[in-house]
């Protein structure tokens, strides 16, 4: 009798975890939406035709950004040696302004904040 009772109890306990495993965990609602978004085809990039004058200004801004960027590493080396160059802050600010203006003009960034900043600087890039 005890053996039968123990066997029955053992079978019941073994079948209990199996029945709980059959229940699937609820799927969060956002997961279905994310899967649907992932299946959608990507949009083709927008082609923008630029005027020659605008392209020349973009090239000028890119050259200015390259010049400003090349000036920063030697100044950082001076900071590492304990010296603070006078124009480091100005160079970093000019670098940021030029980078933001170039990003907005090329359409790489559609941030309203960056557009407002670029609009404040009428010529579109900072000069030293």
Question: How would you classify residue 106: left for phi > 0, otherwise alpha for psi between -120 and 50, otherwise beta?
Answer: alpha
pLDDT, mean of residues 40-61 = 77
pLDDT of residue 127: 44
**pLDDT band at residue 75 using 50, 70 and 90 as cut-offs:** very high
Domain ranges across the chain: 52-120
**pLDDT band at residue 15 using 50, 70 and 90 as cut-offs:** low
pLDDT of residue 128: 41
Question: How would you classify residue 124: left for phi > 0, otherwise alpha for psi between -120 and 50, otherwise beta?
Answer: left
Residue 12 DSSP SS3: helix
pTM over 0.85: no
CA distance linking residue 99 with residue 110, whole number of Å = 14
How many Cβ atoms are within 10 Å of 124's Cβ, its own excluded?
Answer: 19
CA distance linking residue 34 with residue 83, whole number of Å = 51
């Amino acid at each position: 009798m005890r053996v039968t009772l123990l066997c029955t109890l053992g079978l019941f306990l073994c079948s209990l975890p199996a029945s709980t495993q059959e229940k699937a965990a609820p799927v969060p609602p956002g997961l279905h939406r994310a899967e649907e978004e992932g299946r959608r085809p990507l949009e083709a990039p927008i082609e923008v035709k630029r005027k020659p004058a605008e392209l020349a200004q973009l090239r000028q801004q890119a050259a200015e950004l390259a010049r400003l960027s090349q000036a920063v590493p030697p100044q950082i080396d001076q900071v590492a040696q304990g010296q603070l160059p006078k124009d480091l802050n100005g160079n970093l600010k000019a670098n940021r302004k030029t980078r933001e203006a170039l990003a907005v003009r090329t359409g790489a960034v559609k941030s309203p904040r960056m557009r407002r900043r670029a609009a404040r600087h009428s010529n579109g890039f900072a000069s030293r």
